[in-house]
């Protein structure tokens, strides 16, 4: 905060009038400024202990030590209660801005983090598709640009945003997104040569990235320097504050992708306290982000999707934790979202032969909902390589 304040003061001293962010950014906003933010909870979030069926005796039988008693839950109706860590999401639910989609998964589930995450990223199980579903969405919606259409805030790029026509901007610390050059070197910086006589594909790739870095780094840095928000994102913003900074700066970006780091939700052992804390971080960040959108006057333009590569085993394991599972809930949040329950919760009495929940909703239906209902594209079938029925969440 101090740093940003200093920068602002420096800018003011230098004679730049600090205009309200909205006014400054509005000319840059594209005609269809609907923005989708995807928030990945990596590691396999335990959906059963996130949205808890507290009326269901079977839940307590499956999880004799780690089940959450009703007294601890944040009740949202007479069937479901939220994990106490989900207090931030509860506020969104209470405003009617949160859709919970139950039982999301796919046929013959993989219990491998990497394989399952790749399925979710490509939206094409077992296909080995080289492009991600966000990347293909960008390719279908805007095959000819604009530049900076996809932003992935992370230390490495996600497969989900891999695109045929777009080079996603990928960064995690805006202040380090700057090439240090000494003044005397400026005249001598070599041009990026595209005449690659040796047909070295790796070199072509590096040249493309270098070009993108040059084009985007200054804009991102300026956006972050100018961003000044009093909104509280909790202990870990999970980069959603940086998404807000880019939105505030009027980036033409329609798809933002952020992730919770390091497989954090992989709670095999002693999970109850840890899981609650992780959910607190995630929920506080989402609540803060939506409040920030409200502050920026962008609440009608932004929706957020939250998912995990799988849920966890219905029954607890011997180590006060849970092993990799299958069906899980997904979330869509935002002012344009019609809050409530969607899809059908898996039956806890009807597990599959690996003691896992049977999925009831193909996860691509939720992607289709975002593509058709939110981004208003008719190309969902093409993008998702199949017909998946949308939910009436954005009507």
CA distance 158 to 214: 21
CA distance 133 to 127: 13
User: Residue 78 or 191: which CB sits closer to other proteins?
Assistant: 191
Residue 111 binds other proteins (CB under 8 A): yes
Residue 105 binds other proteins (CB under 8 A): no
Residue 212 binds other proteins (CB under 8 A): yes
Position among 97, 139, 241, 284 found at the interface with other proteins (CB under 8 A): 284
Burial pattern 165-204, b for ≥16 Cβ within 10 A else e, equals ebbbbbbeebeebeeeeeeeeeeeeeeeeeeeeeeeeeee
Residue 377 binds other proteins (CB under 8 A): no
User: Residue 171 or 391: which CB sits closer to other proteins?
Assistant: 171
Site for other proteins in 159-178 (CB under 8 A): 167, 169-173, 176-178
Looking at the DSSP bridge assignments, the partners of residue 332 are 99, 305
Reduce the DSSP state of residue 109 to 3 states and report it: coil
CA distance 38 to 153: 11
Distances (CA, A) of 159 to 77, 162, 343: 37, 5, 27
CB atoms within 10 A of CB 310: 33
Residue 262 binds other proteins (CB under 8 A): yes
Of 30-38, 60-68, 261-269, 299-307, which segment contacts other proteins by CB under 8 A? 261-269
Taking the C-alpha atoms of 347, 349, 355 and 359 in order, what is their torsion angle to the nearest 10 degrees? -10
User: Residue 48 or 285: which CB sits closer to other proteins?
Assistant: 285
Q: How far is the CB of 271 from other proteins (least distance, A)?
A: 10
Residue 185 binds other proteins (CB under 8 A): yes
Q: How far is the CB of 321 from other proteins (least distance, A)?
A: 8
User: Residue 169 or 296: which CB sits closer to other proteins?
Assistant: 169
Position among 198, 350, 378, 395 found at the interface with other proteins (CB under 8 A): 198
């Amino acid at each position: 905060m101090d740093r940003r304040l200093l920068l602002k003061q420096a800018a003011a001293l230098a004679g730049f009038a600090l205009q309200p962010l909205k006014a400054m950014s509005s000319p840059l906003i594209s005609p269809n400024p609907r923005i989708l933010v995807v928030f990945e909870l990596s590691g396999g979030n335990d959906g059963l202990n996130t949205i808890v069926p507290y009326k269901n005796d079977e839940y307590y039988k499956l999880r004799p030590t780690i089940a959450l008693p009703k007294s601890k839950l944040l009740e949202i109706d007479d069937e479901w209660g939220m994990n106490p860590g989900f207090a931030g999401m509860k506020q969104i639910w209470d405003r009617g801005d949160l859709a919970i989609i139950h039982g999301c998964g796919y046929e013959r589930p993989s219990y491998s983090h990497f394989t399952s995450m790749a399925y979710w990223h490509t939206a094409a199980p077992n296909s080995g598709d080289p492009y991600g579903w966000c990347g293909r969405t960008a390719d279908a919606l805007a095959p000819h640009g604009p530049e900076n259409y996809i932003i992935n805030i992370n230390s490495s790029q996600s497969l989900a945003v891999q695109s045929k026509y777009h080079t996603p901007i990928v960064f995690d610390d805006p202040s380090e997104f700057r090439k240090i050059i000494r003044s005397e070197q400026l005249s001598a910086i070599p041009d990026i040569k595209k005449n690659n006589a040796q047909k070295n594909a790796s070199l072509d790739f590096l040249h493309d990235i270098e070009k993108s870095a040059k084009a985007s780094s200054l804009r991102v840095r300026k956006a972050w320097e100018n961003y000044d928000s009093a909104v509280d994102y909790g202990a870990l913003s999970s980069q959603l504050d940086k998404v807000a900074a880019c939105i505030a700066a009027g980036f033409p970006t329609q798809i933002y992708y952020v992730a919770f780091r390091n497989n954090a939700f992989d709670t095999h052992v002693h999970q109850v306290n840890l899981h609650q804390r992780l959910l607190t971080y995630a929920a506080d960040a989402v609540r803060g982000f939506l409040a920030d959108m409200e502050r920026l006057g962008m609440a009608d333009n932004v929706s957020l999707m939250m998912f995990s590569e799988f849920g966890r085993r219905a029954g607890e394991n011997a180590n006060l934790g849970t092993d990799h599972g299958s069906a899980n809930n997904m979330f869509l949040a935002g002012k344009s979202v019609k809050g409530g329950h969607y899809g059908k919760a898996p039956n806890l009495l009807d597990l599959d032969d690996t003691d896992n929940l049977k999925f009831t909703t193909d996860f691509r239906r939720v992607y289709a909902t975002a593509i058709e209902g939110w981004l208003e594209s008719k190309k969902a079938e093409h993008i998702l390589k199949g017909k998946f029925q949308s939910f009436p969440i954005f009507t």
